[in-house]
Amino acid sequence: MEKSITLFELLELVFLFSLAVSVLGRIIQFLYLRSKLKISHKRTALVLIISELSSWILTAIIWHAWPFEIDVMYYFICIPTLIGEMFILAFTFIIVRSKRFVWA
């Protein structure tokens, strides 16, 4: 018998299990944004908040559609969070560094 889980419970689990990977990803992103691009604190905070929210949403989608028979946790690392975090970090770095993305 399969148990169903509500969306709110899924988001709670995503937040709880993805905390370690998410904090590490935000630290890397903050250091990159402040050192390489030299943008203001407000814009850095805005990029970090948007990245965090999109990472949680992507992690929930990956976790919900997890097709493998292995567990989603590897010690303290949530594998769907790691996948989502790598995708969001790469996407954010590409968007922020593009010449079409205007900060003014």
What is the tens place of the pLDDT at every residue in 4-58? 778 777 777 777 777 777 888 888 888 887 777 777 788 888 888 888 888 888 8
Other Cβ atoms within 10 Å of 62 Cβ, number: 19
Q: Taking the CA atoms of 47, 93, 24 and 14 in sequence, report the sign of the dihedral they define.
A: positive
Query: What Å distances lie between residue 9 and 13, 32, 57, 69, 74, CA to CA?
Result: 6, 33, 13, 21, 21
Q: Are 48 and 30 in contact (CB under 8 A)?
A: yes
Q: What is the H or E stretch that residue 21 is in? A: helix 19-32
- Structure-token pair, residue 79: 């594998």
d(CA 64, CA 70): 14
Residues 72-97 have a mean pLDDT of 79
Residues 56-72 have a mean pLDDT of 78
* pTM tops 0.85, yes or no: no
pLDDT at residue number 75:
74
